[in-house]
Amino acid sequence: MDITYYGHSCFGITINEKNILFDPFISPNELAKNINAETVKADYILISHGHEDHIADAVSIAKRTKATVICNWEISVWLQNQGVENLHPMNIGGKKLFDFGSVKCVNAVHSSSLPDGSYAGNPMGFVVETNDKNFYYAGDTALTYDMKLIGDYRKIDFAFLPIGDNFTMGVDNAIIASQFIHCSDVIGMHYDTFEFIKIDKPEAINKFNRQGKKLTLLEIGETITK
């Protein structure tokens, strides 16, 4: 599968020829000004929670691509009111099989509201299983013992973890999270976008290395293959 980084916590992943877009926040992101949100592909859009820095481009991309948006019930109602047509509401603990693989919604310890102040339900992360690899997209979350359930549940080949601290867990807690989920291959997200979450990238990578783990920090626009 190919993984393209669009900045902050936004990734496009191609699985079984379907384009899965996570937490679209591109056009307001200064660091992602070379990415054109109007050309980003999506067959599915997965949204972890309602905060602006995870949903800013969701309505426009969903309308243009007719992608199916997978999110919690409250966010799906809000998106429907914005004119988004294809929605698949889920909630924490639920799993569903799609044509690219299955999605299980898991706990995230954070908050959630929509840009206009609407109630957005609870934040969540996703465990995605495919016939190739399995991965965990944590969304915005603190370190939580619930992550041990994920490690017990499935083999996680790689994981997207927030590392920017301040609003979510930082590097040190992300290393513990990677232990909880039994996964040594981590792609960092939710760092550097704002002043509050600027990190020392070489130091973050070194900290993971010292624990025998790999932290990948993609350039915005970069694509890697897993």
Chain residues in the site for Ni ion (CB under 5 A): 51, 140
Residue whose Cβ sits closest to Ni ion: 51
Report in angstroms how near the CB of residue 167 gets to Mn ion at its nearest.
6
129 makes contact, choosing from Mn ion, Ni ion, none, with CB < 5 to 8 Å by partner type, with none
Q: State yes or no: residue 165 binds Mn ion (CB under 5 A).
A: no
Report in angstroms how near the CB of residue 175 gets to Ni ion at its nearest.
21
104 makes contact, choosing from Mn ion, Ni ion, none, with CB < 5 to 8 Å by partner type, with none
* Pick 12 or 139: Cβ nearer Mn ion: 139
Binds Mn ion (CB under 5 A): choice among 43, 53, 74, 192: 53
Report in angstroms how near the CB of residue 13 gets to Ni ion at its nearest.
20
Q: What is the DSSP string of the chain?
A: -EEEE-STT-EEEEETTEEEEES---TT-GGGTTS-GGG---SEEE-S---HHHHTTHHHHHHHH-PEEEEEHHHHHHHHHTT---EEEE-TT-EEE-SS-EEEEEE--S--B-TTS-B----EEEEEE-SS-EEEE--S----TTHHHHHHHS--SEEEEE-B-TTS-BHHHHHHHHHHTT--EEEEES-SSSGGG---HHHHHHHHHHTT-EEE-PPTT-EEE-
d(CA 71, CA 32): 24
23 makes contact, choosing from Ni ion, Mn ion, none, with CB < 5 to 8 Å by partner type, with none
* Pick 18 or 51: Cβ nearer Mn ion: 51
Q: How many residues bind Mn ion (CB under 5 A)?
A: 3
Q: State yes or no: residue 140 binds Mn ion (CB under 5 A).
A: yes
Report in angstroms how near the CB of residue 133 gets to Mn ion at its nearest.
25
Report in angstroms how near the CB of residue 170 gets to Ni ion at its nearest.
15
Interacting residues toward Mn ion by CB under 5 A = 51, 53, 140
